[in-house]
């Protein structure tokens, strides 16, 4: 069976721009992490119940892949999709840490949607898949479009490709399970200070290396300070020169081109 890669991402920057009902609107630069990915494939099974084979701590009904399946059935009413998942399990080799701010669950869901669209010839456009994926989670559309780098705004539904060289990252993830809703709640209650539109436009036009060059970690990611407030043990894991991805708990730094022969020239 063909194996599909579900890549991780880091947030080069993540700034809050406002509120939309119970959601926070953002502007963020997502960049794919090329050497960190889960592996998904279909595998024959014995029983008809929906099955995910992999190392997950949540119940199947809470898994992003299962949610993606339910929303895809709802959108397409495809009998072939139902039959596919009666005959095959979805096997996931997990390499992206959970609760880490690296988008593992979202990437798995997006990859699953694209797998089904491909093998069943559903004919759904990337925009349609992104609409379905947004119901699963705010980060899913980025992974649907498959860009190396993109400006992501709204509540995650606006994904605009940003053309720049793909960077290499040193990533480490403390063994701390962070609740994204808890971090956003703390931000709203203790740190709420949305950036003006002029700054949004400037960030959208600035390449990732330059952004990381003039931002300090707490300036680059509005969720870093509330995450530190809610999870004080995070401070023990912080290293100078590292940035915070999403709501955490992962930190990343850029591997300079001179240390990586595969890096593109940044000229």
Catalytic center residues: 9, 139
Antiparallel, parallel or unpaired: β 251-254 and 243-244? antiparallel
For residue 202, the number of C-alpha atoms closer than 13 Å in the C-beta half-sphere is 9
CA 152 – CA 147 distance, rounded (Å): 11
Query: Which has the closest alpha carbon to 89: 108, 64, 66?
Result: 66
DSSP tag of 221:
B
CA-wise closest residue to 16 among 4, 7, 29, 27: 27
* Pick from 31, 60, 24: nearest CA to 161: 31
User: Of 119, 120, 150, whose CA–CA distance to 130 is shortest?
Assistant: 150
Residue 16 · residue 25 · CB < 8 Å = yes
What is the rounded distance in angstroms from the CA atom of residue 231 to the CA atom of residue 247? Answer: 11
Q: Rg of the chain over CA atoms, in angstroms?
A: 19
CB 37 within 8 Å of CB 6: yes
CA–CA distance, 173 with 57 (Å, rounded to integer): 17
């Amino acid at each position: 069976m063909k194996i599909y890669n579900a890549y991780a991402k880091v947030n080069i920057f993540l700034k809050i721009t406002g509120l939309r009902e119970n959601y926070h609107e953002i502007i963020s630069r997502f960049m794919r992490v090329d050497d960190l990915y889960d592996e998904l494939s279909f595998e024959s099974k014995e029983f008809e119940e929906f099955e995910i084979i992999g190392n997950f701590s949540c119940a199947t009904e809470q898994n992003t892949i299962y949610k993606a399946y339910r929303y895809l059935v709802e959108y397409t009413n495809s009998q072939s999709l139902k039959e596919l998942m009666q005959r095959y399990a979805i096997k996931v080799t997990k390499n992206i840490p959970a609760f880490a701010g690296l988008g593992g669950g979202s990437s798995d869901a997006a990859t699953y949607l694209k797998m089904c669209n491909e093998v069943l010839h559903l004919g759904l456009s990337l925009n349609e898949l992104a609409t379905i994926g947004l119901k699963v989670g705010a980060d899913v559309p980025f992974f649907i479009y498959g860009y190396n780098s993109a400006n992501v705004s709204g509540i995650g539904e606006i994904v605009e490709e940003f053309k720049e060289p793909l960077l290499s990252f040193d990533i480490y993830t403390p063994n701390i399970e962070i609740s994204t809703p808890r971090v956003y709640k703390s931000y709203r209650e203790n740190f709420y200070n949305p950036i003006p539109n002029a700054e949004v436009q400037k960030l959208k036009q600035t390449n990732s290396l330059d952004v990381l060059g003039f931002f300090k970690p707490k300036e680059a990611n509005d969720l870093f300070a509330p995450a530190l407030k809610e999870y004080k043990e995070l401070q023990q894991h912080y290293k100078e020169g590292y940035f915070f991805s999403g709501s955490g708990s992962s930190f990343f730094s850029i591997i300079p081109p001179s240390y990586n022969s595969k890096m593109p020239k940044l000229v």
